Every structure is written in structure tokens, then in C-alpha cells.
Structure 1
Amino acid sequence: MRIGVIKETAAGENRVALTPETAKKFTGLGYEVVVQSGAGVASSCPDAQYTAAGASVASSAADALKDADIVLKVIAPTADEADLMKSGAIVLAAFAPHANDNLDTYAAKGLTCVAMELIPRITRAQSSDILSSQANVAGYKAVLMAANEYQRMFPMLMTAAGTVKPARVVVLGVGVAGLQAIATAKRLGAVVEASDMRPAAKEQVESLGGKWLDVPMSDEEKAKALGTGGYAWVPSPEYVRDQAVIVDKAVSNADIVITTAQIPGRKAPVLVKADTVAKMKPGSVLV
């Protein structure tokens, strides 16, 4: 059985779907692995490492995908990439089916598409959970990017010339990415506040040293949030109004704002309005 891996073509995408270490595991199991030349360069995985792992290096995407029974990608294939695959191939990638215009192309080609981001988060499937691993990276990197852009320091500094207050960081959305963002910002010395639609997230935020931005909830809303995991429930107009007021106040006073809130299968909610951004301090950073 042949596994094909090609270079990601999406703008700004530096990841590769298969590392040399994993390629070695596949070749050890008897699979034939073909990797497009340069596919891993942006991830510091040169062609020589794939060759040493027992994989073959193809000069083009077409050669890497030719006769491939399984195709591994980070981002869902474009229509042109799908045309290079053989009918009946199995494709593993992040497909974002709610926003993918190429589903009909995949179907016409007879591809079996496995949306890795939709695999249930259960114990048996933990090794295939791409959402948690990538969210961890995103939350960590978001704070580092903000720190790089922020013109002042994160921690409080006490000098003979005076005291510099610590940076105020607001994290909106306390899933895996949000929790990692809180932990990273706290390690850098910032004062952190966070908000989420799940009441259960309060304990997680406080365990990391963050302050919980509390939005009043009715008993009915609390029951709804607990029953659905907090991601898909539709809040009342009163909750939306109260949340907007609290977020507006917190964000207006923040130096750094990290937004990680999202709803699986739907467009991420817009929690920071233009009016609120206009109130933010000069030099503040929004990620």
C-alpha cells in the first residue's frame, strides 16, 4: 500500500502532514511512502531525513500522488490536487466541511475523505486528536506573537526609577487554546482575565492563576450550557447583552487580547466589536 504526502500550498502554511519519524514507522510496517520534494522543508524536515527513514522522494505533487492509496495532508486538498489523486484513494486532512467548496469534486473523484478535526474526542481516538494538539500550539504561539508585538514588558518590573505595571491580558474562549494562552501569559508575568460560555471553565481559569470574567446566567442557561458542553447552545438576548458589556470593559482596559472562542462546524463568533477596538489603548495588541 502506498502513502503519498505533498507540500502544503496554502498561504502561510508551514506544516507537513508526515514527519520523518512517522514515515519510518510506516515503512517499518511495510508501507511504501512517497513524499514530494521540499514538503517538509518549512517544518525543518529536509528530503534527506525522509530518505533515511525509508521513504521515496518525488519531484512533483503528481508523482507523489500517483497510485497513492492513502494521501496525508494538513489542509484539505484543492480541486487541482484532488484531480491528481486516483479514484478511491483515502485522504486524511482537516477538511472543514462547513466551509469547503470542493466536496463535490472529492465525491466525483470517488475519494474517501477523513476529516481529522471531526474525530470524536474519546479515549480510544486520542492519538488522532489533531484539534487538541494544534490548539495547544496556537494558544502558546498567540501569546508569544503578542509579546513580540507589544512594546512593553509582560511582568511587573521594580527599578530605582520606578515600577512598571504588568501587562493585562484578556483571553476570550477557554478551551485548549485558551487555557494554554492563560498559562503562557501567566508564566511571562502578566495579569490575566478570561471569559467563556461554560461555567465549568471558571475553575480551570482560576487554577492557572487567572481571573474569571463572570457573566450572570439564569438557571435555565446554566443547565443548557452543562448539557451541551457549552459550545453549541444559543444564549438569551440578556446574556449576550451582559457579555458584551463585560467584554467591552475588560478589552478596553487590556494590553493584550487573545481570542480563541469557536464553535465546531460554524464560523467563530465575533466577540470584540469595532466600537470596543476603538476604545483600546494605543500600543495594545489583539490576536
Structure 2
Amino acid sequence: MAVAIAVTRERREGETRCAVTPETVKKLIALGAAVTVEAGTGVGSSIPDDDYAAAGASVKPDTKAVLATADILLKVRGPTAQEISALKPGAVVVSMLDAYREKDTVQALAGANATAFAMEFVPRITRAQVMDVLSSQANLAGYRAVIEAAAAYGKGFPMMMTAAGTVAAAKVFVMGAGVAGLQAIATARRLGAVVTATDVRPASKEQVESLGAKFVAVEDEEFKAAETAGGYAKAMSDEYQAKQAELTASHIVKQDVVITTALIPGRPAPRLVTAAHVASMKPGSVLVDLAIDNGGNVEGAKVGEIVTTPNGVQVVGWSNLPGRIAADASALYARNLVAFLGLMVKDGALGVDLEDEILKASVVTHGGAVVHEGVKG
């Protein structure tokens, strides 16, 4: 009997993405799975139910009916309490669990004896690149951040020479040169802006400059060692942060657009832009805070709002930027999931090998307990 994969509608506020597309339904069926999709799953990504049915999925209107016999549940965000209660014991759940913050969801999954995997914990190793949802979604977030900035900014991005005079190019400063930051740099450059960028990781300097942007950072001995073995930024000392803040203050005052992208796994987003920085910027300037869902990099930013400061600076705090380009975000995420499921679905049978380094790193609950060391506490 084929392994049963279920996909339910996203019920978290503001979530427009979905976990499967018609393209990936076909790929899951090719793995030997039977796919059941809850009606309305693809609405936010402009995918009609009929397209899922045409790809070979069974479409059902009742959530409990979708989940009753499911061996695997696929989600973008973690399942709700009602969905968890409808799972059969021992079911596998795969989603972006946000496991450090969504403790209640994690405990409920453990209580339901589910084997739950957090896609954000997939290790950044060569073998797992095709499963890296953080990169696929951050790429789109970096692109969308620049589009949002351009929409809010009251002037053009490129230098334009006209009979009536020259329009100066916008100055864009990107803070954090990970996947999102690099895409923001590339997009701002394509729009014709003069771009500068900063990051605490030494390897980022060459990447920034390869995209035609200027690198701005305090390049001391601490900076040279400021990267983990996994390629993430380390938390910096107070002394370094003070020096970097001084450099930032002198640079940010000259900028038209600032995009912040800095995140530290398992910790609140670092504060990069203070109220004083914002107050020093020109009227009409724009800040876009990509880390708003994790506490924000910009002082005064608010989730889901554009805040206009007394000095006329707009601080954009849109949550879930990939969800603002939902069709592409869903397509990439769904492909990440197919690659991940390929580790545990073979010839229509489900086999979860928790000794596999990818599955071992990303499993959060198993056997009625929370098993991920970083989440247990």
C-alpha cells in the first residue's frame, strides 16, 4: 500500500504559501506516494483545486478526512492543535516549525507521538543544498525587500539623464550579506542603485564586491574569526559592536534606503539600527527590516506596519516577505520538500532512518518526546 501524504491549508495568519504544487504532486506520486490535498490549499499561491486533481492528487474538503489515514503531513508553517489532534499516532510531520519559539506546537507534536521534522534545521551541507528552505525563501525575501523599498521610496532608483536634468541614483545600504542580503544587493544593483553592504563574516566581503557593491565593515582581528563552521555569523563582542555602530552611524546618514537582514539562529535578531540612526536619516528615506519576525534589526519597526517617523523616514516591517511572492515561494519550498522526502520514501514505503545526518539534524520530536537538543530546554 502506497505511503499516504496529506497536505492541509495553511491556517497561520498571513500565510499565503503552500507545501505542494501540481508539479511536486507528480513527483511525490513518482516516489510511490498517494497524495491528498485539502480543498483551498493553493488559493494564496493561485493554484486551483482542479490543478491538484489533474496532477493526480485526491482533493477533499474535510480536514479530518485528509489527515485520518495520513502517514506524512506536509505544511509550510507548523500544524495547529486541531490538526495535530487529528493525526494518527506515529505520523510524520514536515514543516518550518519555528521550533525555538513555537514551544506549544512542539510539545503537542511530542504528545501526539508524531515524528516531526523542522525544515529550518536541515544542515547546510552539500548533500542537503536542494533541501535548504532557509536559502530558497531568503532569496525571495531579499528580492522582495528591494521591491518594497522601491515602492515606498518617493524617487527612482537608477540615475536618469533627461532633457530636464539628471536624476541621481539612490544609495542603498544592505546590512547582512547572507542569502537574503546578497539577493537584495543584486536586485538593487539591477535597478540601478549605488549599493553598499556590511556583514560580520569575512567571507562575505568577496561576495559583496563580486555583485558590484562596496563592502563596509570594521575589519579587525575579531572580524576575521567571526564565522561558525556552519557558515553562520557569530555573536560579536560589545567592543566590536560599538566600533561597528560608530561606522554604521557615519554611513547610514548618507543613505536613501537601508535593508537589514541579520539573523542569529535560536536567538533574537541583533539590533543594527537604533532610533538615533533613524533620526539621522533624510526625510523620505526608507528602511526595510527583514528580521522583523525575529524581533527586528531596526529600533521602532513594527510587525505588519510601515511606520513613518517624525523626521519623515519610513520603516517597513512587513512579515513573511516570501509570502508576498507566494507562487514562487511555494514552488521552491515544495521542491525542497520533495528532495527531503526522498530520504524517507522509497518505492512507496516509508522508512525513517534517524541515523541519516540530515534527518538526525532536523528531527524535533520522536517516540513521544522532544529529541532535538537545541529545543529541549
Instruction: Return the TM-score normalized by structure 1.
Output: 0.95
Partners in 1 of 2:229 and 2:177 — Cα distance?
A: 16
1:247 CA drift (Å): 1.7
Question: Which secondary structure state, in structure 1, belongs to the residue aligned with residue 225 of structure 2?
Answer: helix
1:252 CA drift (Å): 2.3
CA-to-partner distance for each residue in 1:149-190, whole Å, 9 max, x for gaps? 111100011122221111111101000110000000000000
**Identity of aligned pairs, percent?**
54
Question: Which secondary structure state, in structure 2, belongs to the residue aligned with residue 269 of structure 1?
Answer: coil
Higher relative contact order (CA 8 A, sep 6+): 2
Question: 1:247 — aligned with what?
Answer: 248
Aligned length: 285
Question: 1:116 — aligned with what?
Answer: 119
Question: 2:71 — aligned with what?
Answer: 69
Amino acid in structure 2 at the alignment position of 1:140 = Y
Alignment of 1:66-145 (within 5 A): 66-101=68-103, 102-145=105-148
Of 9, 33, 36, the match for 2:35:
33
Partners in 1 of 2:80 and 2:246 — Cα distance?
A: 42
Question: 2:333 — aligned with what?
Answer: none
Of 217, 225, 230, the match for 1:214:
217
1:232 CA drift (Å): 4.9
Partners in 2 of 1:195 and 1:226 — Cα distance?
A: 14
CA change 1:214–1:59 in 2 (3 A) is: same
Amino acid in structure 1 at the alignment position of 2:91 = A
CA change 1:232–1:28 in 2 (3 A) is: closer
Question: Which secondary structure state, in structure 2, belongs to the residue aligned with residue 2 of structure 1?
Answer: strand
Question: Which secondary structure state, in structure 1, belongs to the residue aligned with residue 19 of structure 2?
Answer: coil
Amino acid in structure 1 at the alignment position of 2:263 = Q
CA-to-partner distance for each residue in 1:11-39, whole Å, 9 max, x for gaps? 22111001111101222333111101010
Question: 1:53 — aligned with what?
Answer: 55
Question: Which secondary structure state, in structure 1, belongs to the residue aligned with residue 26 of structure 2?
Answer: helix
Q: Tell whether the 8 Å contact from 2:200 to 2:217 is kept in structure 1 after alignment.
A: no
**Root-mean-square deviation (CA), in Å?**
1.5
1:286 CA drift (Å): 1.2
Question: 1:13 — aligned with what?
Answer: 15
Alignment of 1:252-271 (within 5 A): 252-271=253-272
More off after superposition, 184-193 vs 145-154? 145-154
Partners in 2 of 1:229 and 1:215 — Cα distance?
A: 22
1:200 CA drift (Å): 1.6
Question: Which secondary structure state, in structure 2, belongs to the residue aligned with residue 194 of structure 1?
Answer: strand
Q: Tell whether the 8 Å contact from 1:216 to 1:242 is kept in structure 2 after alignment.
A: no
More off after superposition, 100-109 vs 68-77? 100-109
Partners in 1 of 2:132 and 2:139 — Cα distance?
A: 12
Amino acid in structure 2 at the alignment position of 1:168 = K
Amino acid in structure 1 at the alignment position of 2:201 = R
Question: 1:280 — aligned with what?
Answer: 281
Alignment of 1:167-186 (within 5 A): 167-186=170-189
Partners in 2 of 1:223 and 1:283 — Cα distance?
A: 36
